Amino acid sequence: MKAGREAIVDYLACAIAGAADRSTLVVRDALGSAPGDAILIGSAEKRDAFSAALINGHAGHVLDYDDVHASVRGHPTAVIIPALLASGIAARADDFIAAYVVGLEVMARIGLALGTRHYENGFHATATLGPIGAAAAIARLQGLSVEKTAVALGLAATQSAGLRLQFGYDAKPLHVGLAARSGLSAARLAAVGFTGADDFLEGPIGFFEAFAFGAEQPLRVVENFGAPWQITAPGLTLKAFPCCTASHPVAVAALELRAKGLAAEDIDQAIITFPPGGDAALVAGPAPQNGIDARFSAEYVFAAALIDGKLGIDHFDERPTRADIRALAMRIERRHDETARRLSPDPTTRFVVLEVAKKDGAALSHRVDGLPSLADPAEKFIDATRGYAAFAEIPDFVRKMTDGRDLARLLALLNQPLSH
């Protein structure tokens, strides 16, 4: 349960910070006008449940600062938690966390079964697996029967959609909000007897065939389910930087070399090497036009981390990228180690090697295996929420979500405007 509580703190930090983003405000104004009882995070307003799930999901991912899971190859928490918060189900804190863990497990298990083809064919796994995970979480929280749960998951799967070509645009975080809303609608329809196929995964024209031309390892959906739970092994990666996870090892390597004295003006050329498929999400290349696009540029991340010694939200906003960062990024080459295993849901397949040729003829290199993850999201919460005093109590409240207390206090804390 500790991992679940930490994930919730991390998501809420991202959602509060993202609530003021221009893109979130556009979604709220254009698509979220229906009144209701569901809270909007970082606002005193309430909306209907479906609008709230959409808006809070979008807000949680708009900065690309939210957690990731290797088996999902995407962002489970920013889909599942908004759907649960909007569900309107009166729940104890421990049941809420248990439902979240189940939703994550379902997303991760389907991700493991799909293997590499789904993502590499252009699907955004957060958007395609997210509705199913959100529906599973709500079904668990509501106590739906096995039969109704199966229908809920199938109704969620038939709403699965999201293309990776939208990375770097407002559409990417919208994927997350849409997934949360779809999962909620699927669970609600199933709860009242709505019908749908219950063999949605393995049917001859089901999810596996349609989205991946067949699952690579279909039995992984049920094999040793919950033993251990995916939230603990391999576990979530809590982001240290507000950019695409695939670039995080690059940032770590750049900061390590900077600590050893490397400066931008020393570099003649740098090479970043990934395993095959390891940079599939990094679609921006070395010349992103603005900070949002730069979230998906390994070259920009390297240059910004080396020059500034840090990476924060301000590095990835809508302003044009800085000239000094662009100049260094253009001297960086990206390669693949074709002798390495192709990147897969197995986190041990991920690595980055950074090699630098200095102008004085010297050479430096640094290798990072796996993904760096924050040990404790509390400091990130303070930084991401930018000192909004109204939300200061939230991390402590979530840490104590181990008993039968209800969530009314948490909902009240979240349903406040952004003010210092």
Q: How far is CA 272 from the centre of its chain?
A: 24
Residue 287 lies in a domain: yes
Task: Write out the residue range of the structural domain in which residue 285 sits.
Answer: 245-369
Over residues 90-101, the pLDDT tens digits come to: 888 999 999 999
Q: How far apart are CA 142 and CA 207, in angstroms?
A: 25
Q: What is the largest CA-CA distance in the chain?
A: 72
Q: How far is CA 249 from the centre of its chain?
A: 16
Average pLDDT over the chain reads 95
Question: What is the DSSP code string of 185-234?
Answer: HHHHHHHTT----S-TTTSTTSHHHHHHSS-SSGGGGTTTTTTT-TIIII
Shared domain check, 390 and 319: no
In this prediction, residue 140 has a pLDDT band, given cuts at 50, 70 and 90, of very high
pLDDT of 208 > 90? The answer is yes
Cβ atoms of residues 243 and 292 within 8 Å? no
Shared domain check, 8 and 119: yes
Residue 254 lies in a domain: yes
CATH of the domain at 312: 3.30.1330.120
Strand partners of residue 335: 273
Mean pLDDT of 33-43: 93
Over residues 1-32, the pLDDT tens digits come to: 789 999 999 999 999 999 999 999 999 999 87
pLDDT at 317 (0 to 100): 94
Residue 34 lies in a domain: yes
Over residues 275-305, the pLDDT tens digits come to: 999 999 999 999 999 999 999 999 999 999 9
Q: How far apart are CA 129 and CA 133, in angstroms?
A: 6
- Which one has a higher pLDDT value, 146 or 390? 146
Shared domain check, 284 and 208: no
Cβ atoms of residues 156 and 110 within 8 Å? no
Mean pLDDT of 184-212: 95
Residue 179 lies in a domain: yes
Shared domain check, 382 and 316: no
pLDDT of 387 > 80? The answer is no
Shared domain check, 215 and 282: no
In this prediction, residue 336 has a pLDDT band, given cuts at 50, 70 and 90, of very high
Shared domain check, 154 and 140: yes
Mean pLDDT of 221-235: 93
Residue 419 lies in a domain: no
226: left (phi over 0), alpha (psi -120 to 50) or beta: left
Q: How far apart are CA 209 and CA 157, in angstroms?
A: 12
Shared domain check, 151 and 170: yes
The tokens for 231 are 């939230």
| SS3 at position 388 | coil
388: left (phi over 0), alpha (psi -120 to 50) or beta: beta
Which range is most confident: 114-118, 224-228, 250-254?
250-254
In this structure, which amino acid lies at residue 47?
Answer: R
With tokens 């309430």, the residue in question is: 46
CATH of the domain at 181: 1.10.4100.10
User: How many structural domains comprise the chain?
Assistant: 2
Shared domain check, 219 and 278: no
Over residues 325-334, the pLDDT tens digits come to: 999 999 999 9
Residue 420 lies in a domain: no
pLDDT at 203 (0 to 100): 85
Shared domain check, 96 and 9: yes
pLDDT at 285 (0 to 100): 92
In this prediction, residue 55 has a pLDDT band, given cuts at 50, 70 and 90, of very high
Shared domain check, 220 and 259: no
pLDDT of 342 > 70? The answer is yes
Shared domain check, 301 and 161: no
Residue 224 lies in a domain: yes
β-strands 267-274, 236-237 pairing:
unpaired
Residue 177 lies in a domain: yes
pLDDT of 263 > 70? The answer is yes
pLDDT at 333 (0 to 100): 97
Whats the size of the chain, residue-wise?
420
pLDDT of 261 > 90? The answer is yes
In this prediction, residue 420 has a pLDDT band, given cuts at 50, 70 and 90, of low
Strand partners of residue 269: 357
pLDDT at 232 (0 to 100): 96
In this prediction, residue 347 has a pLDDT band, given cuts at 50, 70 and 90, of confident
Mean pLDDT of 155-173: 97
Contacts for 337 with CB less than 8 Å, ≥ 6 apart = 273, 274, 275, 276, 353
Shared domain check, 337 and 270: yes
